[in-house]
Amino acid sequence: MKPYTEKITLGNNEIVFETGKLAKQANGSVFAVSGGCAVIATVCCANNPTEGLDFVPLSVEYNEKYYAAGKIPGGFLKREGRPRDKEILVSRLIDRPMRPLFSKAFAREIQVVPTTVSADQINPPDVLGMNAAFMAVHLSDIPFDGPIGAVRVAYLDGQFLVNPTFEEIERSDLEIVVAGSEQGITMVEGGGKEVSEEILIKAIEFAEPHIQALCRLQNRMREAVGKTKLPLPEFTEIKLDREEEIVEALRRPLSEACFVRGKFERVEAIKKVKKEIQEQFKESIEGKEKRFNTLVDDLEQQIVRESILEKGIRTDGRGPRDIRPIACEIHTLPRTHGSALFTRGETQALAITTLGTSFDEQIMDDIDGDRRQTFMLHYNFPPFSVGEVGRLSTGRREIGHGHLAQRSLANVLPPKEKFPYTIRVVSEILESNGSSSMATVCGGSLSLLAAGVPLKAQVAGIAMGLVTDNERYKVISDILGEEDHLGDMDFKVAGTDKGITGFQMDIKIKNVSREIMTKALEQAREGRLHILEIMNRVIPSPASDISVYAPRILRYNIDPEKIGLVIGPGGKNIKGIAEESGAKIEIENDGSVTIFCAQMSGAELALAKIKAMVEDPEVGSIYIGTVKRIMDFGAFIEILPGKEGLCHISKLSKTRINNVSDVLKEGQSIKVRLTEIDKMGRLNLSIVDVDEEVWEKNKSARR
């Protein structure tokens, strides 16, 4: 096949899609270029189908090569290794809108591999990779109900931008990735700085014509060079003897079992019905248990969906808008910097906040450019949370859920200048039956406030669902795990009482209308406000001070020309201060000094030492000096490097003393006040005149 090219302009960049030149042995391949970014996307499928599969065996492996940005991998190994979190997140972005468009009947393993081979560090390559992957599948011989396209939209200075740059994303109030077909939207993911539901809807609508243009381009390429689609395999359909009779026997007891209260109680009730019917029709079912299980699952789905659409009654007895009982508590753990327990129905998250220093920042080693991350959220989903046995591991689910929660909370964190801590939140899911990621948002917000982090506002999250039969629909709030499985949409929305901070929408149908999306967002807002009201009863504002177990941080600015003086030859001075105070000290080129210490007293000692080195003696100021020499008439005390003053014996104590050595020893650190600089430049000091009240005020100011 000869190379074939199509072009489209979105935003400020032209995108060029080419096929027939690279990776020609794959079932489908596309080379996409936009600005300085380039992605090669391929798709392959297994040679033979696997009979009996009831899912789409799809894997997406987005990967970024360091050479794309002219970099060599850091660390001991100098080649790309296991996928980084960013690559996993982009793989999920590609997978989610694509998966519902493959036929389960195809029954062949499918692997999509988009590879970023050039990156300009100006434009994000992820959306380019999404479109290259979608197009590779559409042009291939693999059956696919496409085309679909994707764009990123940012809301900046009152305007919507398509496929913005990294710099524009950083400054924007809203950033979303939208995927869809010519008929409508199928996936939305993003975050905002407390934006309104109206702005979110408008952003999605802004994305639609660009997505439709991408879909039309894909169809033109398919008409020109697309491969003939492979036929779906024809497996012999297995049916049970007396199948209709078995379904009718199942219907009534299963209708009762599906509405038993409690997750495990409901599961046991359904198992009991299955066992009884299996025993009753033993001869018809024997050897065909898989078909029987499929019948039960299909009937369960039908019963639950009909109940929601016709009666507005869900499996746990709730109505469409009802939210399960919520319980919140803080300071659950005694020695952590901040902790909270959030329980909603049968979903429970234990969130822990840890405050660290700049030495704890996450160094991001990828092709997007060197940067540091001061906020991390890690989500753990152990198997015991659903009553199962399994491996403790961090998979794609954990990374995806953690990223959504992190994005939802990041937009309300204080700037580093105001709160100079590195923050890590860990969410341990202890129970799960519906939207543990949104429980993580709620628990994370509570634990951050309990740790004394000055959030702009409390954040809560809720997961919305949808049941529709094309003529009727019901939007349901706070969905259960089974409602996610049996329903048509999973729409997670997090935010404050002012607006949205994070969201993610996946649908299992071809698209959703503006009406449904608007209703879902409004219902989510009502639910969010209800949850926030409960959370605010527990802790409405940040704790007045951080934990005594958290490190103390002091900041100070010095003349950049005096940096060398503080550091000293070979780092002698700064190492000495660190050893004496137990603090870590960081000095920037602009003269900003940050001091970290487990104890405030150590941080203050280090600050006093640094101030003493860079400041000129000031009459009336209090210093922490070091006793250098003891004389009969007093003691010489060094208050600044190389600057000593005399503290006369009469100024050592308010009571009479006979010998200076009775109250002072050489090498001792002592608070002194500079009372005078005489005409000859000599410093006169006093211990008696140290004003403790003034010292305390100065100490508070330094904090």
pLDDT digits (tens, 9 = 90+) for 188-228: 999 999 999 999 999 999 999 999 999 999 999 999 999 99
Q: Which structure tokens are listed for 4?
A: 């074939």
How would residue 343 be classed by pLDDT, with cut points 50, 70 and 90?
A: very high
Tell me the one-letter amino acid at 452. Answer: G
Choose from 114-128, 568-582, 607-621 the range with maximum mean pLDDT.
Answer: 114-128
Fold of domain 551-615: Ribosomal Protein S8; Chain: A, domain 1 (3.30.1370)
Q: What are phi and psi of 182, to 5 degrees?
A: -65, -20
Instruction: Say which range, 165-179, 405-419, 564-578, has the weakest mean pLDDT.
Output: 564-578
Q: Which structure tokens are listed for 493?
A: 């929305």
Q: Residue count of the chain, please give it.
A: 703
* pLDDT at 698 > cutoff 80: no
Q: What is the CA radius of gyration of the chain?
A: 33
Rounded Cα gap, residues 256 and 127, in angstroms: 47
Rounded Cα gap, residues 202 and 397, in angstroms: 29
Tell me the domain boundaries of the chain.
4-225, 243-311, 326-538, 551-615, 617-703
Fold of domain 617-703: OB fold (Dihydrolipoamide Acetyltransferase, E2P) (2.40.50)
Q: What are phi and psi of 467, to 5 degrees?
A: -130, 125
* pLDDT at 697 > cutoff 90: no
Between β-strands 489-495 and 552-557, what pairing exists: parallel, antiparallel or unpaired?
A: unpaired
Residues forming a β-bridge with 507: 489
Neighbours of 570 (CB within 10 A): 7
What is the residue whose two structure tokens read 């020893």? 665
What is the residue whose two structure tokens read 């992820």? 126
CA torsion angle 667 670 674 676 (round to 10) = -60
| Between 700 and 467, the higher pLDDT residue | 467
* pLDDT at 552 > cutoff 80: yes
> Which element (helix H / strand E) includes 353?
strand 347-356
Q: Does domain 326-538 have CATH number 3.30.230.70?
A: yes
How would residue 521 be classed by pLDDT, with cut points 50, 70 and 90?
A: very high
How would residue 417 be classed by pLDDT, with cut points 50, 70 and 90?
A: confident
DSSP state of 309: I
Q: Which structure tokens are listed for 327?
A: 């319980």
Rounded Cα gap, residues 476 and 467, in angstroms: 8
* pLDDT at 429 > cutoff 90: yes
Q: Name 119's Cβ contacts closer than 8 Å, sequence gap at least 6.
A: 36, 37, 64, 68, 69, 125, 367, 368
617-703 matches 326-538 in CATH topology: no
Which conformational region is residue 397 in: left (phi greater than 0), alpha (psi within -120 to 50 degrees), or beta?
alpha
Rounded Cα gap, residues 607 and 282, in angstroms: 82
Q: Which structure tokens are listed for 343?
A: 């329980």
Rounded Cα gap, residues 634 and 131, in angstroms: 81
pLDDT, average across residues 633-644? 86
Q: Does domain 4-225 have CATH number 3.30.230.70?
A: yes
pLDDT, average across residues 354-378? 87
The dihedral built from the CA positions of residue 282, 288, 289 and 295, taken in this order, carries a sign that is negative
pLDDT, average across residues 30-40? 96
* pLDDT at 702 > cutoff 60: no
Q: What is the pLDDT of residue 692?
A: 57
Query: For the chain, what percent of residues have pLDDT higher than 90?
Result: 64
Rounded Cα gap, residues 378 and 579, in angstroms: 34
pLDDT, average across residues 13-42? 96
Helical segments of 74-165, H only: 85-98, 126-139
* pLDDT at 695 > cutoff 80: no
Rounded Cα gap, residues 512 and 464, in angstroms: 13
How would residue 361 be classed by pLDDT, with cut points 50, 70 and 90?
A: confident
Rounded Cα gap, residues 659 and 575, in angstroms: 35
* Class of the domain covering 243-311: mainly alpha
What is the residue whose two structure tokens read 């009201």? 533
* pLDDT at 15 > cutoff 70: yes
* pLDDT at 405 > cutoff 60: yes
Contact 110, 57 (CB under 8 A): yes
Q: How far is CA 244 from CA 241, 599, 676, in A?
A: 9, 75, 104
Rounded Cα gap, residues 54 and 107, in angstroms: 8
* pLDDT at 696 > cutoff 60: no
* pLDDT at 694 > cutoff 70: no
Rounded Cα gap, residues 224 and 218, in angstroms: 10
Rounded Cα gap, residues 336 and 322, in angstroms: 34
Q: What is the pLDDT of residue 519?
A: 93
Q: What is the pLDDT of residue 629?
A: 92
Q: What is the pLDDT of residue 691?
A: 65
Q: Name 282's Cβ contacts closer than 8 Å, sequence gap at least 6.
A: none
Q: Would you give the end-to-end CA distance of the chain in angstroms?
A: 70
Q: What is the pLDDT of residue 225?
A: 95
Q: What is the pLDDT of residue 565?
A: 85
Between β-strands 592-597 and 584-587, what pairing exists: parallel, antiparallel or unpaired?
A: antiparallel
* Each residue's pLDDT tens digit, 583-593: 888 898 888 88
Rounded Cα gap, residues 613 and 577, in angstroms: 11
* Each residue's pLDDT tens digit, 103-115: 999 999 999 999 9
Closest to 341 (Cα-Cα) out of 548, 539, 551: 539
Beta strands in 185-230 (DSSP E): 185-195
Instruction: Say which range, 133-137, 192-196, 337-341, 602-606, has the weakest mean pLDDT.
Output: 602-606
Q: Which structure tokens are listed for 9?
A: 């302009």
Closest to 641 (Cα-Cα) out of 593, 700, 576, 544: 576
| Mean of all residue pLDDT scores within the chain | 91
Between β-strands 634-640 and 643-648, what pairing exists: parallel, antiparallel or unpaired?
A: antiparallel
Rounded Cα gap, residues 273 and 299, in angstroms: 12
DSSP state of 311: I
Tell me the one-letter amino acid at 362. Answer: Q
Q: What are phi and psi of 682, to 5 degrees?
A: -80, 145
Rounded Cα gap, residues 608 and 597, in angstroms: 14
* Each residue's pLDDT tens digit, 660-690: 998 899 999 888 999 999 888 899 999 988 8
Neighbours of 222 (CB within 10 A): 17
Q: What is the pLDDT of residue 88?
A: 95
Rounded Cα gap, residues 466 and 518, in angstroms: 13
